């Protein structure tokens, strides 16, 4: 006795095709797809692994770029701090020089009086 399996397949917009399969065809399809499914699973595993390794690679690249930017900013901050310290020292020296000149001018004015 043959057992038939009825399947409905969508073939387009609102169109469905009905097909009847017997058990031997069903077994054949299972066997074929079992072999193919292992291959498909293997391919999908490789794709997922490749995608994961690409993601890890991208994350590592982003991490390296972030570290580079942070180091650059730190170097820039250190440079700015050094420049500020240098300018501060120059200003202190200029103020000291002006005070000295003012004191000399005051002494001259006192002597002239």
pLDDT tens digits along 42-93? 666 677 677 777 878 888 888 898 888 888 888 788 888 899 999 999 999 9
Evaluate whether residue 106 is within a structural domain: yes
15 lies in a domain? no
* Structure confidence at residue 1 as a pLDDT band (50, 70, 90): very low
Is the residue at 16 inside a domain? Answer: no
Task: Judge whether residue 99 has pLDDT over 50.
Answer: yes
Provide the β-strand partners of residue 21: 5
Rounded distance, CA 96 to CA 84, Å?
A: 18
In DSSP terms, 22 is beta-bridged to 4
**Position 27 in a domain:** no
pTM: 0.39
8 Å CB contact between 6 and 19: yes
SS3 18: strand
Whether residue 9 has pLDDT greater than 60? no
Instruction: Give a yes or no: residue 55 inside a domain.
Output: yes
If one counts the domains in the chain, the total is 1
CA pair distance 66, 78, nearest whole angstrom: 18
**Does residue 23 contact residue 5 with C-beta atoms inside 8 Å?**
yes
Domain assignment present for residue 42? The answer is yes
Is residue 61 in a domain?
Answer: yes
pLDDT at 48: 66
Confidence of residue 112 (pLDDT cuts 50, 70, 90): confident
70, part of any domain: yes
Beta bridge partners of 19: 7
Domain interval for residue 69: 35-112
Task: Return mean pLDDT, the chain.
Answer: 76
Residue that wins the pLDDT comparison between 16 and 105: 105
């Amino acid at each position: 006795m043959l057992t038939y399996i009825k399947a409905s397949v969508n073939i387009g917009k609102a169109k469905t095709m009905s097909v009847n399969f017997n058990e031997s065809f069903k077994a054949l399809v299972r066997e074929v797809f079992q072999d193919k499914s292992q291959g498909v699973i293997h391919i999908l595993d490789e794709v997922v692994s490749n995608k994961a390794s690409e993601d890890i690679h991208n994350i590592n690249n982003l991490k390296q770029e972030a570290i580079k930017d942070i180091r650059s900013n730190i170097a820039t901050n250190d440079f700015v701090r050094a420049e500020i310290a240098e300018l501060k020292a120059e200003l202190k020296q200029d103020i000291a020089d002006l005070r000295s000149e003012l004191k000399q001018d005051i002494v001259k004015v006192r002597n002239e009086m």
